[in-house]
Amino acid sequence: MKFINSSKAVVVSLCAFSFLHSNAQTNKEEKSLISTKVFTDGTNHWYHIKDKTNIVNPIPNQPQYAETDYAKIADNILLFQRNNGGWPKNYDMKAILTPKQIDTVIKTKPILHTTFDNETTYTHVNYLAQVYTLTKDAKYKDGALKGIDFIMEAQYGNGGWPQYYPLEKGYSRHITFNDGAYMGIMNLLKKIVNNDPDFEFIDIKTRKKVTASYEKGIDCILKMQIKEDEKLTAWCQQHDEITLLPAWARKFEPPSICNAESVDIVLFLMAIDNPNEKIIASVQGAVKWFQDSKIYNTRVESFQAPEMESKYKKITNDVRVVTDTAAPPIWTRYYELGTHKPLFSDRNSELLYSLAEVSRERRSGYAWYTDKPEKALKKYPAWQKKWDSGNDVLKN
Q: How far apart are the first and last CA of the chain?
A: 76
One of 250, 299, 320, 360 is an active-site residue; which one?
250
The question of whether 250 is a catalytic residue gets the answer yes
One of 118, 126, 178, 259 is an active-site residue; which one?
118
The 3-state DSSP class for residue 114 equals strand
Q: Would you say how long the chain is, in residues?
A: 396
As a whole number of angstroms, the distance between CA 74 and CA 130 comes to 10
The question of whether 118 is a catalytic residue gets the answer yes
Residue 41 and residue 179 in contact, taking contact as beta carbons nearer than 8 Å: yes
* Residues involved in catalysis: 118, 250
